[in-house]
C-alpha cells in the first residue's frame, strides 16, 4: 500500500496496568504463537520479543499494531515459556551474569532462533493464505533476528526494530527491504549506533529515529507505562511502526 492509512494517525488508548491481551494462541513451526487480529487479513507481521518474553507490554504492542493496521500479528514463543527472568536485570552479580550468559548461548542462541524465524514465516504463509504481504519487527534481541532475516532471499516486504540489540553495521548494509530502526539513548556505544544508523540512511526508504529520553527496552518488557514520558514515547513508537508498515505492506 502506497499511502499511510488514516487508522495509523492514532492508536487505541494504552492500558497502563493489568493489561489483558486480545488474542488467542496457535501452533506454528513447533512453537506456541500468540495470534491477534483478523486471520484473513491481507497483511501480517511477525513480532519477535526481547529476552524477557511475552510480557503484557509486548503483547499490548502487538495488539495496538494489529488494530491500527487491521492486520494479523503473530508473536512466536521462541523460549517455550522460559524467558530470561526480569529479576536478573541488571546483571550486576557474577551469578546473574552466569545465568544470563548461559541463556544467551543456549535458549536465546541467535543463529538457531534466526533459522527458526525463517522456518516459521514459511509455515505461516501456508497457514494464512489470504496474507499477501508479510513484515517483521523485533525488540532488542528480537531486532537482531529481524535484521538477519531481512537480507537476500527474505520472505518479508518490510521489517524493523525498536531499541535494537547486538548491533553490527554489516547487518544494516545487507538489508534488501525497507527497514525502520527506533533507537533508545543506550543501544550500544554512540559510535556504533551512529555507524548503524548511517548504514540504514543510505536507503531513502529506511527510517531511523532516536528516542533520546528513553531507556533500552521502553517498547518491550521494560516499558514502565505508569511513567508519563515512557507512556507517551511507547505510544509514539508504536504509532511510528504502524505508519511505516502501512506504507510498505
For the stretch 80-119, pLDDT in tens is 999 999 998 888 899 999 999 999 999 999 999 999 999 9
Secondary structure (DSSP) of 18-79: S-----EEEEETTEEEEEES-TT-SEEEEEE--TT-S-HHHHHHHHHHHHHHT-EEEEE-TT
The pLDDT, as a whole number, for residue 3 is: 39
27: exposed, middle or buried (Cβ count in 10 Å: 0-12, 13-18, 19+): exposed
**Span 122-147, average pLDDT:** 97
Tell me: the pLDDT tens digits for 163-191?
A: 999 999 999 999 999 999 999 999 999 99
pTM listed for this prediction? 0.94
Q: Can you give the length of the chain in residues?
A: 249
Amino acid at each position: 500500500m502506497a499511502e499511510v492509512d488514516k487508522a495509523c494517525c492514532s492508536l487505541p488508548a494504552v492500558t497502563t496496568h493489568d493489561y489483558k491481551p486480545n488474542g488467542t494462541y496457535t501452533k506454528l513451526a513447533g512453537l506456541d504463537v500468540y495470534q491477534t487480529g483478523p486471520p484473513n487479513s491481507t497483511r501480517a507481521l511477525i513480532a519477535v520479543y526481547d529476552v524477557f518474553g511475552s510480557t503484557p507490554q509486548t503483547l499490548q504492542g502487538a495488539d495496538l499494531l494489529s488494530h491500527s493496521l487491521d492486520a494479523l500479528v503473530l508473536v512466536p514463543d521462541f523460549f517455550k515459556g522460559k524467558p530470561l527472568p526480569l529479576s536478573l536485570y541488571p546483571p550486576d552479580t557474577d551469578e546473574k551474569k552466569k545465568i544470563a550468559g548461559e541463556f544467551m548461548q543456549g535458549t536465546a542462541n541467535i543463529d538457531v532462533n534466526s533459522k527458526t524465524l525463517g522456518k516459521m514465516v514459511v509455515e505461516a504463509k501456508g497457514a494464512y493464505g489470504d496474507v499477501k504481504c508479510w513484515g517483521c519487527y523485533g525488540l532488542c534481541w528480537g531486532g537482531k533476528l529481524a535484521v538477519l532475516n531481512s537480507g537476500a532471499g527474505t520472505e518479508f516486504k518490510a521489517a524493523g526494530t525498536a531499541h535494537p540489540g547486538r548491533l553490527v553495521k554489516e547487518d544494516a548494509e545487507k538489508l534488501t527491504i525497507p527497514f525502520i530502526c527506533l533507537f533508545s539513548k543506550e543501544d550500544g556505544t554512540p559510535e556504533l549506533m551512529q555507524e548503524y544508523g548511517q548504514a540504514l540512511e543510505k536507503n531513502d526508504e529506511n527510517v531511523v529515529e532516536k528516542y533520546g529520553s528513553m531507556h533500552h527496552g521502553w517498547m518491550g518488557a521494560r516499558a514502565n507505562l505508569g511513567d508519563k514520558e515512557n507512556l507517551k514515547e511507547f505510544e509514539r513508537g508504536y504509532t511510528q511502526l504502524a505508519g511505516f508498515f502501512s506504507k510498505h505492506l
